[in-house]
Amino acid sequence: MAFSLIQLVGENLFTQRVRDDQRIAETLSEQIGDPLVALDIDALLALARGVADENGARVLVLDPYGVVQADTRSELSGTRLSNREVERVLSGSAESDYGFYDAGGSGGFWVRSALSLYENVRSMNGLYAQAISRGGERVGALVYITPVQEIYENLRSIQLQILSWMFVVLAMVLIVSMYIMRAVTRPIGDLSEGIRKMSGGELSARVEVRGHNEFSDLAQAFNSMSERIEALDQARSQFVSSASHELKTPLSTMKILIQTLLYQDPIDPGMAKEFLNDANQEIDRLSRIVSDLLTLVNIDSGGMKLNIENIRLRALLDEQIKRLLPLARENGIEIELEARDEVSVPGDSLKLQQVIYNVIDNAIKYTDRGGVVRVQLSRSGKRAIVRIADTGQGIPEKDLPYIFDRFYRVDKARSRATGGTGLGLSIVQQIVQLHGGKIQADSTLGEGTTFTIDLPIQP
Amino acid sequence: MNRRIRLMALLAAAAMLLTACSGRGGAPQGGSSASLPEPPVAPENQILGDDSASLAREITLYRASEAAMELTAVIRLISPGADGNLTRAALEELFGARAAIEDVEFSSGAATVRLPLDAAAGRSDSDCLLLCCSIANTLLGIDGVEAVNVLSGDRAIDICGLPLGTFTGLNGNIPALYAQLQSERERFAAGGAVLERSACLYFPAYGGQYLLPEVRTVSFPDEDYASALIEALCAGPQTRRCCFSFAPEGIDLLEDAPHTSVTSGGERVLELALSPVLANYLALSGIESWQFYGSLVLTLTSFLPELDAVRVSIGGQAVTECDMGVRLARFPNGEMRRTDFDSCAGSSAWLYFARDDGNLVRLECAVSRAAATSAGSILPAMITLGGSYLPDLRSAFPEGIGPEDLLGVSVAEGVATVNLSGNFYCQCQSLDAHGERSLIYAMVNALTELDGIGAVGFLVEGRQVESLAGSIYLRTPLLPDPGLVRGYAPDA
Ligand SMILES: Nc1ncnc2c1ncn2[C@@H]1O[C@H](COP(=O)(O)OP(=O)(O)O)[C@@H](O)[C@H]1O
Ligand SMILES: [Mg+2]
């Protein structure tokens, strides 16, 4: 655009001058024909000089063969001028023509010059050639030369100005685009770098969050995602190590028992029986762990399907308490059920049975002889609340947040002794969450623990 | 980042290129392959000699009708005679007879017409005036003629007892002129009045060959015309730059008042007694005696009425002979006559000399009367005169070129064609552009000074040539370039 602007300004300046020159040259060529034919140099020169002096120009009068017969500056007289313009006019291919010449170097008019910025022209001249005709015959040509250095220099300075402005704009565009690129590409680059690191296994990789825009949101999302992935990964590896440890313990116990028996010779039948009994217990334990694990894996992989039906909770609680009564009695613990109204919730009967069983089982197991386990059912708005409180030893505050974690046990020995796997509460929590509910544990050390399960009445 | 910067630079460069291209577009392009038309090839034309003289011109003749005392103008086409003298041809046409005039001496714009001795004898003063005006008007109409002197025999004509002087302008009303002359006569005779006349004053010209006339108005307080004329001569030339004064200024040349005596043969002789100082001056200044006497005699006899001879004595010693350069002229009884110095009257022409910058110096130079008007002689005169004419002046012709290298000149339709010799062409080959220009334009300008020539073409041995030394194109005739002329300042 800038270039066409330069072009426009230049052409305007020069066309005006060319038009003026044309007018002058046409008038003079009409007058000068007579003295040229009459070989009257004085009249011819008087006319030419008059026009030349008036306009600060130079006039050449050429014969039909291009020989300069009169030059107001007497420099080119007698020489043959073979400019393109003169040739075109004298050969008859044009009535008039013009061009621009740099007379700076030679003083002559052979160096055609473009009106360009890149040539440092010292003396730019406009050359206007006009045919001199008399009675339809071409008797010569008039060459009217005007200095246009001033116009040329004006144009040059305009061109320079426009160009320098353009460069300023260009530089500005460059800077701005570089800034924008920094703002756009750097966060993306950082992000992709982070993703690359993560996929390379470096899960602790985080992205620097700058400013408040879509990119910073993206970075934040990425960061929280990677935090979760890292946590998951940690949980997984911990789970795997815990699981293998848990599985290994009964196996090594059995190995010892069986080895002891194998090295006994002869085998004491009483002892064998006792050992096999122990091994049998360990197998039970293993199968419990495995079935619990299967349940969890089932839940984790989304394979667990809830068989939803209307569950009457009071009946369910009642049933489970009845199932656990023998155990409670064995441990000298009393179970109370407080349920005034029946509360129905949508849910999977078997799963919910497992939930209640597990929690009450825990309460019995971790309460000393003579304790009480109180089961309450109530309704709060659209939720059913099942509260199972015991008067047991309680859970230390530092362990409380972890009791729902897999294999987490506050007192490992006691848990083992009672046949716990450390997976019970995990499964419970998962099932409750699958039902859209929540489970919460509150405990005071030495006084007891209360589990509160809250289930939505409507799905 | 690096790649991005490189890309930017590339873009900028492309932009630059674009401007450059668009800039070029500003000047109109277009592959026209038109070329200049070539001049027609002229057949070989071996011009020898000079045919310029035969050019006819239209001249107005003023015929006298004596009864009515008036002149009637008739236009005739007149060709110059064999000698190229148009003035003489015009007068012959005017009178219809060869015998009516004895001689016309055309010298630097001044034509001196000698009528037969008896031409004025039988006529009344008014008839005589009519005749003179008829001649003067006719000749003044010819290009280059600025003054006309009419003599009867060798004697100046007087009308009403007063010298007529030189005609410089047309006179239409003869009776009025005659009446004016009569009243002048009366006032002059009464004394106190000053008579004013144009007079032809002859001065020696540089170059040492010729005397040239300068027509000037001289005031005569009394009838001692000779003293006034000598005083005017001593003052030196005023317009003719190629001449010089023959006498030092401030010196009283005349020891005694000049007086006229009549010889036994009835001839009137002017006695001039000159100061003896003059002899020394002439010897010292290098002015030749013939220049001095010639100036005196031609000037005095052209003006003083009815004067036949001049007798000069220097310091009481009569001058009876004079070295004319090529011969010794003897004056019987010391009587110097106009005819003794006729041949000294030359003419002048504007000749061109070269300057080192390729420009020209235009100088009026004394040349023979023939050379001044003839295309064939002016260039040889320019060659012979060369640079010797004045100090610091350089001939436009390169060395090795002589007058014989100008083979011929012909004039047709205002264009003079000069035929140069092969030697001329060869000698020019080493010229630079300035030298070539000054040579060509010295010739063109000098020839176009002549009446009837507007342009000059050149041939070498009758054939057209492209150029002498490469820069000036010679296939077409050239107009002169007065713009090349620069001043000549020998003092500088
Ligand atoms: N009612 C409770 N009183 C005290 N501690 C409890 C109670 N219920 C669970 N806990 C603690 O939470 C741990 C995890 O319980 P759980 O997941 O059921 O595993 P376990 O197989 O050991 O019962 C138990 O080992 C125990 O330390
Ligand atoms: Mg448990």
Q: How far is CA B337 from CA A91, A412, B223, B297, B334, in A?
A: 66, 172, 21, 7, 10
- pLDDT exceeds cutoff 50 at B21: no
Q: Residue B484: closest CA among chain A residues belongs to which residue?
A: A74
SS3 content of chain B, % helix, strand, coil (to 5): 35, 30, 40
pLDDT digits (tens, 9 = 90+) for A269-282: 888 888 889 889 88
pLDDT recorded at residue B22: 46
Q: Which residues form the pocket of ligand 1, taking CB atoms under 6 Å from any ligand atom?
A: A 358, 362-363, 365-366, 390, 392-395, 403, 409-411, 415, 420-425, 449
Q: How far is B18 from chain A (nearest CA, A)?
A: 8
In the predicted model, what is the mean pLDDT of residues A34-40? Answer: 90
Distance in Å, CA A340 to ligand 2 centroid: 28
What's the one-letter identity of residue B383?
I
pLDDT recorded at residue B491: 38
**What protein residues have CB closer than 5 angstroms to ion ligand 2?**
A 362, 420, 424
Chain B residues with CB inside 8 Å of A116's CB? 20, 23-24, 26
Q: Is A112 in contact with B27 (Cβ distance < 8 A)? A: yes
Q: Are B470 and A78 contacting, i.e. CB atoms less than 8 angstroms apart? A: no
Q: How far is A200 from chain B (nearest CA, A)?
A: 26
pLDDT digits (tens, 9 = 90+) for B109-154: 899 998 887 777 777 888 888 889 999 999 998 888 899 999 888 8
- Predicted confidence band at A373 (pLDDT cuts at 50, 70, 90)? very high
Q: How far is A197 from chain B (nearest CA, A)?
A: 23
Measured between CB atoms, does A394 come within 8 Å of chain B?
Answer: no
- Predicted confidence band at B53 (pLDDT cuts at 50, 70, 90)? low
Spell B146-185 as b/e; 16+ CB within 10 A means b.
ebbbbbbbbbbbbbbebbbbbbbeebeebeebbeebbebb
The residue with greater pLDDT, B15 or A347, is A347
Chain B residues whose C-beta is within 8 A of a chain A C-beta are 8, 12, 15, 18-20, 22-28, 32, 34-39, 359, 414-415, 437, 440-441, 448, 454-455, 471-473, 475-476, 478-484
In ligand 1, the atom with minimum distance to the C-alpha of A388 is 1
- pLDDT exceeds cutoff 80 at B388: no
In ligand 1, the atom with minimum distance to the C-alpha of A394 is 4
Percent share of chain A, pLDDT over 90? 39
For residues A190 and A168, what is the distance between their CA atoms, to the nearest angstrom? 32
Sorted by sequence, the CB contacts under 8 Å of residue B452 that are 6+ apart come out as B52, B55, B57, B143, B411, B414
Q: How far is B196 from chain A (nearest CA, A)?
A: 35
In the predicted model, what is the mean pLDDT of residues A371-380? Answer: 94
pLDDT recorded at residue B281: 83
In the predicted model, what is the mean pLDDT of residues B80-104? Answer: 79
What DSSP state is assigned to residue B482? G
Measured between CB atoms, does A328 come within 8 Å of chain B?
Answer: no
Q: Is B482 in contact with A42 (Cβ distance < 8 A)? A: yes
Q: What tokens were used for A52? A: 């030349």
pLDDT digits (tens, 9 = 90+) for B277-324: 888 888 888 788 888 899 999 999 999 888 889 999 888 888 888 888
Query: How does strand B415-420 pair with strand B455-460?
Result: parallel
Q: Is B455 in contact with A39 (Cβ distance < 8 A)? A: yes
pLDDT recorded at residue A107: 52
In the predicted model, what is the mean pLDDT of residues B373-385? Answer: 83
The residue with greater pLDDT, B370 or B267, is B267
| Total Cβ atoms within 10 A of residue B390 | 16
State the average pLDDT for chain B: 83
**3-state secondary structure at position A441:** strand
Choice among A29-43, B201-215, B370-384 with the minimum mean pLDDT: B370-384
Q: How far is CA A128 from CA A98, B8, B23, in A?
A: 4, 43, 20
For residues A73 and B438, what is the distance between their CA atoms, to the nearest angstrom? 15
pLDDT recorded at residue A429: 94
Query: How does strand B147-152 pair with strand B321-323?
Result: unpaired
The residue with greater pLDDT, A373 or B222, is A373
Q: How far is CA A273 from CA A264, A276, A286, B236, in A?
A: 13, 5, 20, 175
Q: How far is CA B145 from CA B128, B137, B413, in A?
A: 21, 10, 22
Domain definitions of chain B by residue range: 2-42+346-486, 53-193, 204-215+225-345
CA A159 centroid distance within chain: 43
Measured between CB atoms, does A213 come within 8 Å of chain B?
Answer: no
- pLDDT exceeds cutoff 70 at B201: yes
Q: Is A41 in contact with B482 (Cβ distance < 8 A)? A: yes
Choice among B212-226, B329-343, B362-376, B420-434 with the minimum mean pLDDT: B362-376
The top-scoring range by mean pLDDT among A346-350, B222-226, B243-247 is A346-350
The residue with greater pLDDT, B81 or B69, is B69
Q: Is A78 in contact with B28 (Cβ distance < 8 A)? A: no
For residues B420 and B407, what is the distance between their CA atoms, to the nearest angstrom? 6
Distance in Å, CA A198 to ligand 1 centroid: 36
- Predicted confidence band at B472 (pLDDT cuts at 50, 70, 90)? very high
pLDDT digits (tens, 9 = 90+) for A77-135: 899 888 888 888 988 888 888 888 877 655 556 666 655 555 666 778 888 899 999 88
Of B24, B34, B481, the CB nearest to A93: B34
- pLDDT exceeds cutoff 50 at B471: yes
Domains identified in chain A and CATH numbers: 2-161 (3.30.450.20), 214-300 (1.10.287.130), 308-456 (3.30.565.10)
The residue with greater pLDDT, A320 or A135, is A320
For residues B52 and A293, what is the distance between their CA atoms, to the nearest angstrom? 140
- pLDDT exceeds cutoff 50 at B27: no
ipTM: 0.77
- pLDDT exceeds cutoff 90 at B16: no
Q: Is B35 in contact with A117 (Cβ distance < 8 A)? A: no
Taking a contact as any Cβ pair under 8 Å apart, which residues of chain A between 14 and 73 contact chain B? 14, 38-42, 44-45, 63-67, 69-73
Q: Is A65 in contact with B475 (Cβ distance < 8 A)? A: yes
Radius of gyration of chain A (CA): 54
pLDDT digits (tens, 9 = 90+) for A144-200: 988 888 877 887 788 788 889 999 999 999 999 998 888 778 888 888 888 898 888
Percent share of chain A, pLDDT over 70? 95
- pLDDT exceeds cutoff 60 at A47: yes
pLDDT recorded at residue A348: 93
